[in-house]
C-alpha cells in the first residue's frame, strides 16, 4: 500500500478502521484499570510504611488517607466494571458466534465467583448509596508477630446494605468483622487481567486480516 493510498484508506470509513478502533478502545480501558490499580496499591503500600501517623497518632492524616482510599477504590472498581462492559459490547455488534460464546463463558465465571460478586456489591453500594465505613488500622502485635496497618471495611456496616446478590451475601457472612480489602482487590485484578488477555487475543486472531490491513496503512505515518 502506497502512502497516498494509505492516506485515503485511513481517512474513509471502513470495516478495517472500525475493528481497529474498537480494539484500540479496549486497550484504553485496560490502561485505565491498570493505572487505577497502581494508584490504589501505591496507597496501600504508602499507608503501611507511614509510621509517622502512629508516632503521634495524627488523626487528620488518617482521615486524609481514608478519603484517598475511598476515592481510589471507587475509581478502580468503576474502571474494572467498565472494561467488562466494553468487552461485552464488542461482540454485540459483531456477527461472530465464537467470540460471543467465549465472552459469555468467561463472564459467567466471574458472575459465579464469590469474591468478584462481593466487589460488585461494593461498587453498587458506593455508586448508588454511600461509601462504606472504612477502618484505618494501625501497627500492632499478635502472637509476637507485627501486624501492619491496613484499610478494612466494617462487616456490620456492610450487612446493612440490601443490594447484595446471594453469592456475595453468603461470602460476606463468612468474612471477619473487619474485612481487609487489599487481597480481594488483588484477586479481582488478576481475574480481570486474565479475562482481558484471553478475549483480546481472540479478537486479534478472529479479525487478524482486517486489523493488520489498517495497521499496515498506519505505518506510513
Q: Provide the pLDDT for residue 136.
A: 64
Instruction: List the single range of 32-36, 58-62, 76-80, 105-109 with lowest mean pLDDT.
Output: 58-62
Number of H helices, E strands in the chain: 10, 5
Would you say the C-alpha torsion 7, 11, 16, 21 has a positive or negative sign?
positive
**And the C-alpha cell for 80?**
474494572
The DSSP secondary-structure symbol of 94 reads S
d(CA 162, CA 48) in angstroms, rounded, equals: 32
Q: What is the pLDDT of residues 137-193, one digit of tens each?
A: 654 445 555 555 677 889 999 999 999 999 999 999 999 998 989 999 999 999 999
The more confidently predicted of residues 108 and 35 is 35
Range of the domain at 123: 3-218
Q: Are 195 and 106 contacting, i.e. CB atoms less than 8 angstroms apart?
A: yes
Q: Provide the pLDDT for residue 81.
A: 85
Max CA separation in the chain (angstroms): 73
Q: Provide the pLDDT for residue 139.
A: 47
The more confidently predicted of residues 76 and 217 is 76
81, 95, 169: which is closest to 127 by C-alpha? Answer: 81
How many residues are given for the chain?
Answer: 221
Q: Provide the pLDDT for residue 176.
A: 92
Q: Provide the pLDDT for residue 48.
A: 76
What pTM, to 2 d.p., does this model score? 0.84
End-to-end CA distance of the chain: 12
What's the number of domains the chain is made of? 1
44, 50, 59, 72: which is closest to 151 by C-alpha? Answer: 44
Amino acid at each position: 500500500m502506497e502512502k497516498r493510498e494509505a492516506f485515503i484508506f485511513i481517512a474513509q470509513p471502513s470495516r478495517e478502521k472500525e475493528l481497529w478502533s474498537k480494539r484500540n478502545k479496549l486497550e484504553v480501558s485496560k490502561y485505565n484499570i491498570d493505572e487505577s490499580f497502581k494508584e490504589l496499591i501505591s496507597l496501600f503500600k504508602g499507608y503501611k510504611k507511614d509510621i509517622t501517623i502512629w508516632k503521634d497518632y495524627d488523626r487528620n492524616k488518617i482521615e486524609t488517607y481514608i478519603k484517598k482510599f475511598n476515592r481510589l477504590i471507587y475509581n478502580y472498581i468503576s474502571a474494572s466494571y467498565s472494561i467488562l462492559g466494553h468487552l461485552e459490547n464488542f461482540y454485540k455488534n459483531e456477527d461472530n458466534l465464537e467470540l460471543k460464546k467465549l465472552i459469555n463463558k468467561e463472564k459467567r465465571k466471574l458472575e459465579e465467583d464469590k469474591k468478584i460478586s462481593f466487589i460488585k456489591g461494593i461498587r453498587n453500594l458506593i455508586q448508588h448509596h454511600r461509601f462504606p465505613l472504612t477502618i484505618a488500622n494501625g501497627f500492632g502485635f499478635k502472637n509476637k508477630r507485627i501486624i501492619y496497618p491496613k484499610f478494612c471495611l466494617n462487616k456490620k456496616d456492610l450487612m446493612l446494605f440490601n443490594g447484595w446478590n446471594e453469592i456475595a451475601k453468603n461470602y460476606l457472612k463468612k468474612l471477619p468483622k473487619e474485612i481487609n480489602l487489599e487481597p480481594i482487590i488483588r484477586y479481582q485484578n488478576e481475574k480481570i487481567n486474565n479475562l482481558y488477555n484471553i478475549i483480546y487475543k481472540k479478537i486479534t486472531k478472529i479479525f487478524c486480516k482486517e486489523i493488520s490491513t489498517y495497521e499496515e496503512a498506519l505505518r506510513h505515518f
